[in-house]
Amino acid sequence: MDSRVQQYESKMLKTLDNLKEEFASIRAGRANPHLLDKLKVDYYGTPSSLQQVANVSVPEPRIIQIQPWESKLIKDIEKAILASDLGLTPSNDGKVIRLVFPELTEERRKDLVKDVKKKAENAKVAIRNIRRDANDAFKKMNKGNEISEDELKGLEDSIQKITDKFITDIEKITDDKSKEVLTV
């Protein structure tokens, strides 16, 4: 593949990866340990990810269990969870913390699907902006006689094919996430 096209493809890939990360943080009524990926806990003065200071498991479909390596971390982990935007209240027995996910109401599920679709639409706009930037750069090269009309056409076709592929990928992961959110 042409290196001139590759740089724009890698930008599109970053956009898609970012969307996947955003989707992972949307909870669908099922316990998903990835919800805690962005959570940082104060560990001897250093903000550390939860996975570095505790064992995170899912013993039941709607419960995440967090077992800190050191029991004195329980309070810090609870503080981090309460300060986050997860909307969950941790409970602990002195050894482990449990996060219980309540059943989502039909209305809440529909709101989450709207949120999923909005994030997907923003990602599609970002992909199209990358395509526009690429086409502008290619046209500038053509005006500066760096590439011929045929090369310009080829580059524009390549970037359009890549754009279409990423838009299709976004639509697929959006449909999958929407189904997951709506499944009771």
Are 41 and 58 part of one and the same domain? yes
Owner of token pair 């639409």: 121
Q: Which two tokens stand for residue 33?
A: 């340990």
**In total, how many domains does the chain have?**
2
Range 55-84 average pLDDT: 84
109 and 21: one domain? yes
CATH classification at residue 147: 1.10.132.20
Residue 27: per-residue pLDDT: 66
What is the C-alpha to C-alpha distance for residues 13 and 166, in angstroms, rounded to an integer? 8
117 and 79 within one domain? no
What is the per-residue pLDDT for 175?
93
Would you say residue 37 has pLDDT above 80? no
Q: Among 84, 100, 116, identify where a domain stops.
A: 100
Q: What pLDDT, on the 0 to 100 scale, is given for residue 28?
A: 66
**Angle ∠(180,24,6) on CA atoms, nearest 5:** 115
Answer with the one of 100, 119, 140 that is the final residue of a domain: 100
Query: Do 16 and 63 fall into the same domain?
Result: no
Higher-scoring residue by pLDDT: 80, 26: 80
| 95 in the same domain as 65 | yes
Same domain, 65 and 154: no
Q: 47 vs 40, 43, 52, CA distance in Å?
A: 5, 6, 10
3-state SS class at 105: coil
Final residue of a domain: which of 47, 69, 100?
100
Q: Tell me: do 90 and 118 sit in the same domain.
A: no
Q: What is the mean pLDDT of the chain?
A: 86
Same-domain status, 130 and 87: no
**Are residues 53 and 67 located together in one domain of the fold?**
yes
Q: What percent of the chain clears pLDDT 70, i.e. is strictly above it? A: 97
Whether 112 and 138 share a structural domain? yes
Distance CA 181, CA 108 (A): 9
Domain limits at 48? 33-100
What pLDDT is recorded for position 155?
Answer: 92
Instruction: Write the CATH number for 44.
Output: 3.30.1360.40
Q: Check whether 167 has a pLDDT greater than 90.
A: yes
One domain, residues 92 and 158: no
Mean pLDDT of 30-44: 78
Residues 109, 175: one domain?
yes
pTM: 0.70
pLDDT band at residue 29 under the 50/70/90 scheme: low
Is residue 172 pLDDT above 80, yes or no? yes
**Strand bridging mode 46-49 / 91-92:** unpaired
Percent of the chain past pLDDT 90, that is, above it, reads 34
Strand partners, 47: 42
